[in-house]
Amino acid sequence: MDFVQVSKTVLFQGTRPEDAEAMLKCLEAREKQFQKDETIYYVGDRVSELGLVLSGSVLIENDDLWGNRSILDRIGPGQIFAETYACVPSEKLLVTVTAAEETEVLFLNVGKILRVCTNACSFHARLIRNLLTLSAQKNLNLSRRIFHTSAKSIRGRLLSYLSWQAVKQGSREFDIPFNRQQLADYLGVDRSAMSAELGKMKREGLIQVDRSHFRMEE
Amino acid sequence: MDFVQVSKTVLFQGTRPEDAEAMLKCLEAREKQFQKDETIYYVGDRVSELGLVLSGSVLIENDDLWGNRSILDRIGPGQIFAETYACVPSEKLLVTVTAAEETEVLFLNVGKILRVCTNACSFHARLIRNLLTLSAQKNLNLSRRIFHTSAKSIRGRLLSYLSWQAVKQGSREFDIPFNRQQLADYLGVDRSAMSAELGKMKREGLIQVDRSHFRMEE
DNA sequence: ATAAAACAGTTGTTATAACAACATAGGGAG
DNA sequence: CTCCCTATGTTGTTATAACAACTGTTTTAT
């Protein structure tokens, strides 16, 4: 395994490669390879290990009762998945995780991470801190999404999201990291209806739009 | 301060009162009292301390640009608030926190919790673990809410929520912890429209309902 | 340079939910 | 018991968004 690579992941950042190596031993991490479209975790599973993507990528998907699959997220190299469930092992997965391509995953038992290592492996603290930070950040992302989708109208949702972006980027003029379809999915609305609403807002002089570039008027 | 009480809070659970006492010293916790309606944290603030409610309760509210205030949550004795923001101190608060009544709050600096205590105060580990578990649980709650509100129709949202309750409670027949208004708020729909939809589903033989008691038919 | 694919905007129709206003039922308190 | 208050259900109207089908535009690949 490439410990330099591991030490640069979101979970291990701040550790040195040789520390990462020691930690993986101590944590009895196991590595596994998946073929494209292979399922890694099934909806309804209970899990106690988080997954760290070493190469390739995995899809977090919502397969509903009628067989419709919608993709919620894509996790690439250096990112982790299922960490929330692994922190609360009693909860069943609401999602399915599959390999988007040929993928190598490193599984880490969160229980072991949390238990203070008897070998006085001091890096656990760092790992736990990283985990907490990641969890908190995810939390904020989820809260924000709920926030921006709490308005009933498309316009309300757009204004909520765009105002936040303006504040965040510290300017009335800014770019957003979504195309139209992605923004519509994020806000939970129909793309064409959203497009129409953006057009109306433009005509009313509320905003200026060009592709992913926006400007909020007074 | 009552250390027995503190040791029983969500954050300190699993510690002994005498440990809690040592930890509070070590963490330089500060206690503060608020009058009813006094603001504790303002929207837009950046914070590095989480709040532990010792007595009374606080409201987490969303005050929008037009002055409408909607209450997102109420945090009572033994519960914590602003912990997510305190874990990511660069993020501005999306909400305002006010005292719902006369309230005592203990403020704890998360940075200090995360830094390993030089006094080899071993209880930090416990605290951090509790914090991580709380964060993960909150995460799951938020994810679930997004899940249940991702359907476009009222019926879809109801089925998503009710099916989940049935699975969670391991029975087609179960009670939910909401009244109609609360459920409507949770699902982000109009109460009367939801009531109508429940009636229709009842007539179609999909469900049986009596107050907060539900039964899902095959 | 051209074809193909992805992206974005437009329009008309239809389905659906919000909203408002009211009706009814339940559950205390006296 | 009956009055009151709250929770819940009902209905009709209106506003709004979804949906489908299409056009035009930009990007990418060859």
pLDDT digits (tens, 9 = 90+) for B15-60: 999 989 988 988 889 999 999 989 999 998 999 999 999 999 999 9
Q: Does any CB of chain A come closer than 8 Å to the CB of residue B172?
A: no
Mean pLDDT of B52-81: 84
Q: What is the mean pLDDT of residues A129-155?
A: 95
The sheet with strand B103-109 has its strands ordered as B30-34, B103-109, B49-55, B80-81
Q: Which of A48, A132, A168 to mutate to test the interface with B (most CBs of B within 10 A)?
A: A132
CB pairs under 8 A between A and B: 90
Positions 118-157 of B with beta carbon below 7 A from strand C are 152-156
B197 CB contact with strand C at below 7 Å: yes
Q: Which of B84, B132, B143 sits opposite A131 (nearest CB)?
A: B132
pLDDT tier for residue B68 given thresholds of 50, 70 and 90:
low
pLDDT at position A31: 96
Rg for chain B, CA atoms, rounded: 21
**A37: Cβ–Cβ under 8 A, 6 or more apart, which residues?**
A98, A99
What's residue B56's pLDDT?
93
Give me chain A's average pLDDT, please: 91
Q: What is the pLDDT of residue B121?
A: 63
Q: What does the CA dihedral A190, A196, A202, A203 come to, rounded to 10 degrees? A: -160
Query: Do the beta carbons of residue A108 and residue A64 sit within 8 Å?
Result: no
Show which positions of strand C are touched by protein (CB under 7 A): 7-12, 16-21
**Best mutation target, B135, B147, B154, to test chain A (most A CBs within 10 A):** B135
Average pLDDT, chain B: 91
* Calpha distance A187→B61 (Å, rounded): 21
Work out the average pLDDT over B122-141.
90
The pLDDT tens digits for B103-130 are: 999 999 999 888 866 555 667 788 888 9
Q: Which of A45-49, A93-97, B87-91, B114-118 has the lowest mean pLDDT?
A: B114-118
**What percent of chain A lies above the pLDDT cut of 90?**
73
**Mean pLDDT to the nearest integer, B162-191:** 94
Assign A28 a pLDDT band (cuts: 50, 70, 90): confident
Q: Which of residues 83-122 of B touch A (CB under 8 A)?
A: 83-85, 87-88, 91-92, 94, 114, 116
Q: Smallest Cβ distance to A145: which of B88, B133, B146?
A: B146
pLDDT in tens, A84-100: 999 999 999 999 999 98
Structure tokens at B16: 């002994």
The verdict on B140 touching A (C-beta cutoff 8 Å) is yes
- Per-residue HEC secondary structure of chain B comes to CCHHHHHCCCCCCCCCHHHHHHHHHHHCCEEEEECCCCEEECCCCCCCEEEEEEECCEEEEEECCCCCEEEEEEECCCCEECHHHHHCCCCCCCCEEEECCCEEEEEEEHHHHHCCCCCCCCHHHHHHHHHHHHHHHHHHHHHHHHHHCCCCCHHHHHHHHHHHHHHHHCCCEEECCCCHHHHHHHHCCCHHHHHHHHHHHHHCCCEEEECCEEEECC
Give residue B76's pLDDT: 92
Chain B residues in contact with A140 by the CB 8 A cut-off are 84-85, 88, 91
Contact B132 A133 (CB under 8 A): no
Put simply, the answer to whether B114 touches A129 (Cβ < 8 Å) is yes
Protein CA at B154 to nucleotide C1' at D10, angstroms: 17
**What is the signed CA dihedral for B172, B178, B182, B186, rounded to 10 degrees?**
-50
Q: How far is the CA of A144 from the C1' of C18 (A)?
A: 24
